[in-house]
Amino acid sequence: MAEAKIKVIGAGLAGCEAAYQASRLGVKVELYEMKPEKFTPAHSYSGLAELVCSNSLRSNQLNNAVGLLKAEMQMLGSLILEAAYATEVPAGSALAVNRELFSNYVTDKIKSDPNITVIEGEVDKIDADSIVVVASGPLTTEPLANAISEITGGGELHFFDAAAPIVDFSTVDLDKAFFASRYGKGSPTDYLNCPMTEEEYDAFYNALVSADVAPLKAFDKELQSDLTVFEGCMPVEVMAKRGYDTLRFGPMKPVGLPVPSTGEDAYATVQLRRENKEGTMYNIVGFQTHLTFGEQKRVFRMIPGLEGAEFFRYGVMHRNTYLNSPGFLTPTYATANRSSLFFAGQMTGVEGYVESASSGFVAGVNAARLALGEEPIIFPKETEIGALAHYVSEGGVSSSFQPMNANFGIIAPFEKKIKGGKKNRNEAYAARSLSIIESDFGFFKKNENTR
């Protein structure tokens, strides 16, 4: 019988997790990394699993979705979580690490693993005769991006991420917001509407045009000029600066949306569109933005009905090579038309360090199982690791797929409403998820190595 082996392209968090998990299952891994021969504009450290933005892996609390995801991955035996806790620095209720020590820890683990061979140099093609996990990241080089485009047909690969904020429906004030589709067309529950008086619009407008924007990184500079060309990517704050009434004739057009209490159109109306089948998430239509997260929270909470809104994700605009994954990828992160080709990391449409590592875990395990002739493992939607995989493979109900962080809006809801508010609901989600991981997938942690 031929030796079981796979190839992993990219040694970031997702690639290292994928390689490590495959090795734990006794599979040989060739891990390709172009550093130190070549660096992207975001990278500067020679070690593997480099953290290029914040040193924080965010909340450790179980009533926070990324905290739950970390707990799941710890139970499953994640390398990235092992490294993070081994190199932890004080950060309150969050998990933050010493960047260099974290990278060094992962590098040592990978390079000392007898099942993993690290091959340095840029990859510009994808071997059709091998089991491959592509984890090349959001700044994938042009030659490899072209190779991926050949596989996807070109139209499935995006290079900019321009997304509007997504709101937790349960935190919207329905005494102010109302359900309706413009001119009564379509299902009324597809849209939530937040009407504004002239005074409310005036205050919102002035806050929006004076709000602080996030600084552009060097590799995002081209995005700044492209946004002046692509109207569909225009940040809402840039649109507003074109003139006081621009938003009222654009994404905040009130026409065809009479306010139930008056029967009249408002001065301006913000629409929120259903983001998933369950109706737990709504995105703010036309509000892609480059404001800082703090400013988004401050300014967008001035919208009537959103004063107490919680955001599953904030709006983003940055360079990001990612796939239009729904229908193209499966919940194992394998491509639907080629079972031996997997993708992992931000390229799949997950956002964040922990989320990227979780996709690497699932892809690495399933690539290894394929090499061993075993059936794939699909994590259920009741877990956060499974919910992310299903979101990537299925998307929401809107036609435009956007990358997503871990959040409770994508996890399978309970049949009955959990009493006691959001905190109780989230704790119930976490308890259910960890019970499933322990009972159905505990063998990952217990069986440390089968080689």
> Within 277-325, where are the H helices?
293-300
Rounded distance between C-alpha atoms, residue 390 and residue 388, angstroms: 5
Beta strands in 54-188 (DSSP E): 56-59, 88-89, 94-97, 116-120, 132-134, 157-163, 166-168, 178-179
**Per-residue confidence (pLDDT) for residue 162, from 0 to 100:** 66
Strand partners for 9: 32, 134
Amino acid 414 reads F
**Per-residue confidence (pLDDT) for residue 156, from 0 to 100:** 61
Predicted TM-score (pTM) of the model is: 0.77
Q: What phi and psi values does residue 115 have, to the nearest 5 degrees?
A: -90, -10
> Within 289-442, where are the H helices?
293-300, 353-371, 384-394, 421-441
CB atoms within 10 A of CB 224: 11
**Per-residue confidence (pLDDT) for residue 153, from 0 to 100:** 75
Find the helix or strand (DSSP H, E) in which 152 lies.
helix 142-152
Fold held by 5-162+319-446? FAD/NAD(P)-binding domain (3.50.50)
Tokens 């994590």 locate to 379
Q: How confident is residue 213, by pLDDT bands cut at 50, 70 and 90?
A: confident
**Per-residue confidence (pLDDT) for residue 424, from 0 to 100:** 92
For the chain, where do the domains classified as CATH 3.50.50.60 start and end? 5-162+319-446
Tell me the pLDDT of the chain averaged across its residues: 88
> How many angstroms separate the Cα of 412 from the Cα of each of 192, 302, 360, 386, 429?
22, 30, 22, 10, 9
For the chain, where do the domains classified as CATH 2.40.30 start and end? 166-313
Rounded distance between C-alpha atoms, residue 113 and residue 116, angstroms: 5
**Per-residue confidence (pLDDT) for residue 398, from 0 to 100:** 65
Rounded distance between C-alpha atoms, residue 68 and residue 426, angstroms: 9
Tokens 């005036």 locate to 202
CATH code given to domain 166-313: 2.40.30
Q: What is the pLDDT of residues 224-273, one digit of tens each?
A: 544 443 444 578 998 999 999 999 999 999 999 999 999 999 999 999 98
What percent of the chain is modeled with pLDDT above 70?
90
Q: Which residue has the higher pLDDT, 372 or 322?
A: 372
Q: How confident is residue 341, by pLDDT bands cut at 50, 70 and 90?
A: very high
Q: What is the pLDDT of residues 124-166, one digit of tens each?
A: 999 989 999 999 987 788 888 888 888 887 656 665 666 789 9
